[in-house]
Structure 1
Amino acid sequence: MIFSHISDTHLGFVQYHSEERENDVYTAFDQAIDTSIKDHVDFVLLAGDIFHVPNPSGKAILVLANALRRLKKNNIDSYFILGEHDISRIRSTPVPFVYHNLGFSKYIGDGNPIFHKDVLIAGFDKRRKAESESFEPELARIDAEAKKHQGHKILVLHQGITEVNKFAGELNSSDLPKNFTYYAMGHLHEHELRQFSHLGGPLAYPGSIELTSSEGIKETEKGFYQVDISTKEASPTWIKLDIRTQLSIKTSIDSISNDVNMLMEKIRTLTRKPVVELKITGKMTEPGIIQSQVARLTEITLRCFWKHISQEQASGSVFIDKPLKIEEEMQRIAKEILGSTEMANFAINELLPLLSKGNADESSQAVIENFEKFKKGARNVTIS
Structure 2
Amino acid sequence: MLFSHISDTHLGLVQYGSEEREQDVYDVFNQAIDTSIADKVDFVIFAGDIFHVPNPNGTAIIQMANGLKRLKQNNIDSFFILGEHDISRIRTTPIPYVYHNLEFSKYIGQGKPIEYKGILLAGFDKIRKTEIPQYEEKFAEIDKVAEKFSGHKILVLHQGITEFNKFAGEIQSTDLPKNFTYYAMGHLHDTEVKQFNHLNGPIAYPGSIELTTSEGIKETKKGFFEVDISDKEAKPKWIELGTRPQFSFKTKYEELSKTIDEISEKITGLAKKPMVEINIQGENVETDQIQAQIARLNSLVLRCFWRISTKKISDSSVFLDRPNIIDDEMFRLSIDALGSEQAASFAIKELLPVLASGEIKEASEIIIENFEKFKKEKKQ
Conserved? CA contact 2:216–2:326, under 8 Å: no
Conserved? CA contact 1:319–1:325, under 8 Å: no
Q: Which residue of 1 aligns with 2:90?
A: 90
Conserved? CA contact 1:318–1:326, under 8 Å: no
Conserved? CA contact 2:3–2:43, under 8 Å: yes
CA distance in 2, matches of 1:280, 1:230: 52
Unmatched 5+ stretches in structure 2: none
CA displacement at 1:285 relative to structure 2: 4.1
CA displacement at 1:319 relative to structure 2: 3.7
Query: Does residue 117 of structure 1 match 2:141?
Result: no
CA distance in 2, matches of 1:327, 1:11: 20
Q: Which residue of 2 aligns with 1:308?
A: 308
Q: Which residue of 2 aligns with 1:138?
A: 138
Alignment of 1:236-315 (within 5 A): 236-311=236-311
CA displacement at 1:379 relative to structure 2: 2.2
Q: Which residue of 2 aligns with 1:189?
A: 189
Conserved? CA contact 2:167–2:332, under 8 Å: no
CA distance in 1, matches of 2:324, 2:315: 16
Fraction of identical pairs, as percent: 62
Conserved? CA contact 2:139–2:176, under 8 Å: yes
Residues 147-185 of structure 1: CA distance to partner in whole angstroms, max 9, x if unpaired?
110000000000111111111111111110000000000
325-334 vs 300-309, which deviates more? 325-334
Alignment of 1:192-207 (within 5 A): 192-207=192-207
Q: Which residue of 2 aligns with 1:27?
A: 27
Q: Which residue of 1 aligns with 2:224?
A: 224
Conserved? CA contact 2:15–2:212, under 8 Å: yes
Alignment of 1:138-157 (within 5 A): 138-157=138-157
CA displacement at 1:94 relative to structure 2: 0.8
SS in 2 for 1:132: helix
CA displacement at 1:365 relative to structure 2: 1.6
Conserved? CA contact 1:318–1:325, under 8 Å: no
Conserved? CA contact 1:253–1:284, under 8 Å: no
Aligned residues: 380
CA distance in 1, matches of 2:169, 2:111: 20
Q: Which residue of 1 aligns with 2:211?
A: 211
Conserved? CA contact 1:216–1:323, under 8 Å: no
1:319–1:144 distance in 2 versus 1, CA, 3 Å: farther
What TM-score does the superposition give when structure 1 sets the normalisation length? 0.96
CA distance in 1, matches of 2:203, 2:257: 46
Alignment of 1:28-177 (within 5 A): 28-177=28-177
Conserved? CA contact 2:191–2:205, under 8 Å: yes
Residues 85-135 of structure 1: CA distance to partner in whole angstroms, max 9, x if unpaired?
111011111111111111110000011111221111100111111111111
CA distance in 2, matches of 1:16, 1:288: 23
Conserved? CA contact 1:252–1:280, under 8 Å: yes
**Misfit runs of 4+, over 6 Å:** none
What TM-score does the superposition give when structure 2 sets the normalisation length? 0.97
CA distance in 2, matches of 1:290, 1:323: 26
CA RMSD of aligned residues (A): 1.4
Paired AA for residue 273 in structure 1: K
Conserved? CA contact 1:315–1:321, under 8 Å: no
CA distance in 1, matches of 2:363, 2:302: 33
Residues 242-299 of structure 1: CA distance to partner in whole angstroms, max 9, x if unpaired?
1001111111221111111111111113100001111111123433321111110111
Conserved? CA contact 1:155–1:180, under 8 Å: yes
CA distance in 2, matches of 1:275, 1:132: 38
1:5–1:368 distance in 2 versus 1, CA, 3 Å: same
1:362–1:123 distance in 2 versus 1, CA, 3 Å: same
